[in-house]
């Protein structure tokens, strides 16, 4: 009788969650089907992409080709742009996270005059539109000769990413047990030792989730790269190169599918590699009511 009751309870739970599961499957399909269509179209000739839907590619005779990828990786210079995106994204992800981690620890556990005011000022910067800063920062970069350089784009992305990074990490680090810090101080540990050996190891979920956010934003950024790098092809990242594939007469549009999918591969790998920390970091960094 107990086993029968347990089975009934399981069945009731499955039935009660049926609409929710269907909704989740529908949302997943809505996100995955366009990506699948983009992937299939990247292997099709231009005339077939224009005349038939991507789902027709699975009917015989199959007409898949690698010409789009060859064109993008060679003639269009996407290979060089991929390397440029790595050169831009990796430092532009590490720099704000490292600076924000130090600042978040100071805002959470160090006492100094104006601490709360400075933190509120940092949080207020979240609402400042990036577009308002483009002309002043570009003018400054021109004077310092940072326009069109990797150093300039690193500084720009670091500045734009710091407010959110400080806000997220401060909330996470501020929720760490106070007893842990008191014990470390009784043992004679300095702020540097506490930060390096206690705060950083316990903040891996928040750091990982922040790394995903910052990496995705920098990797897919077009506006900041377009303004501060201009038309310099030697430092152009992938979004800028992809936008230049189609000329003013509309030629070259068929290469957008393969170029877009190439740009998607690395962010997908990064996300699935760090996904186990993603939800933990976001929930731990939220403000408790």
Read off the pLDDT of each residue in 256-285 and give the average, rounded to a whole number. 75
118-to-94, 105, 114 alpha-carbon distances in Å: 23, 14, 6
Confidence (pLDDT) at 7 = 54
Whether the per-residue pLDDT at 289 is higher than 50: the answer is: no
Instruction: Write the burial class of residue 38 (CB in 10 Å: 0-12 exposed, 13-18 middle, 19+ buried).
Output: middle
Mean pLDDT of 141-152: 92
Q: What does the H/E/C string look like for 204-258?
A: HHHHHHHHHHHHHHHHCCCHHHHHHHCCCCCCCCHHHHHHCCCCCCCCCCCHHHH
Average pLDDT, stretch 144-157? 93
Question: Are residues 160 and 99 in contact, defined by beta-carbon separation less than 8 angstroms?
Answer: no
Cα three-residue angle 172-174-176, rounded to 5 degrees: 80
Are the C-beta atoms of 107 and 118 separated by less than 8 Å? yes
Please report, for the chain, the start and end positions of each structural domain, with discontinuous segments joined by +. Answer: 1-33, 70-284
The span from the CA of 91 to the CA of 218, in Å, is 10
Q: For residues 140, 239, 127 and 275, what is the CA-based torsion angle, rounded to 10 degrees?
A: -130
Is residue 271 scored above 60 in pLDDT?
A: yes
pLDDT of res. 64: 86
Q: Is the dihedral of CA 132, 137, 140, 142 positive or negative?
A: negative
Q: Output the CA angle 16-283-206, nearest 5 degrees.
A: 140
Confidence tier at 12 by pLDDT (50, 70, 90): low
CATH label, 70-284, candidates 3.40.640.10, 3.10.580.10, 1.20.58.100, 1.10.3720.10: 1.10.3720.10
What's the confidence (pLDDT) of residue 284? 55
Cβ(156)–Cβ(228) under 8 Å?
A: yes
User: pLDDT class for 288, splitting at 50, 70, 90?
Assistant: very low
pLDDT tens digits along 202-259 = 888 888 888 888 998 999 998 999 999 877 778 889 888 888 777 644 566 778 888 8
φ and ψ at 132, to 5 degrees? -70, -20
8 A C-beta contact, residue 78 and residue 238: yes
Mean pLDDT, the chain, as a whole number? 83
Identify the residue with better confidence: 157 or 208: 157
Q: Using an 8 Å Cβ cutoff, are 114 and 108 in contact? A: no
């Amino acid at each position: 009788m107990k086993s029968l009751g347990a089975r009934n309870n399981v069945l009731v739970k499955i039935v009660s969650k049926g609409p929710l599961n269907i909704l989740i499957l529908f949302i997943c399909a809505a996100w995955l089907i366009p990506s699948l269509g983009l992937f299939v179209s990247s292997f099709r000739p231009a005339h077939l992409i224009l005349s038939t839907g991507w789902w027709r590619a699975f009917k015989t005779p199959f007409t898949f080709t690698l010409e789009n990828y060859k064109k993008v990786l060679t003639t269009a210079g996407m290979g060089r742009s991929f390397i440029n995106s790595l050169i831009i994204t990796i430092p532009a992800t590490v720099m704000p996270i490292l600076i924000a981690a130090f600042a978040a620890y100071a805002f959470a556990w160090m006492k100094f005059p104006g601490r709360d005011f400075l933190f509120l000022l940092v949080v207020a910067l979240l609402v400042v539109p990036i577009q308002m800063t483009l002309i002043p920062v570009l003018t400054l970069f021109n004077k310092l000769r940072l326009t069109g350089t990797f150093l300039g784009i690193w500084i720009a992305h670091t500045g734009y990413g710091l407010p959110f990074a400080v806000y997220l990490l401060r909330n996470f680090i501020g929720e760490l047990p106070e007893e842990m810090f008191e014990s470390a101080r009784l043992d004679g540990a300095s702020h540097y030792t506490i930060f390096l050996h206690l705060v950083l190891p316990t903040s891996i979920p928040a750091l990982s989730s922040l790394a995903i956010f910052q990496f995705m934003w920098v990797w897919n950024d077009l506006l900041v790269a377009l303004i501060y790098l201009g038309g310099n092809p030697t430092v152009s990242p992938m979004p800028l190169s992809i936008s230049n594939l189609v000329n003013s007469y509309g030629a070259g549009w068929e290469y957008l599918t393969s170029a877009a999918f190439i740009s998607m591969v690395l962010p997908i790998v990064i996300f699935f590699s760090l996904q186990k920390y993603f939800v933990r970091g976001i929930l731990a960094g939220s403000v408790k009511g």
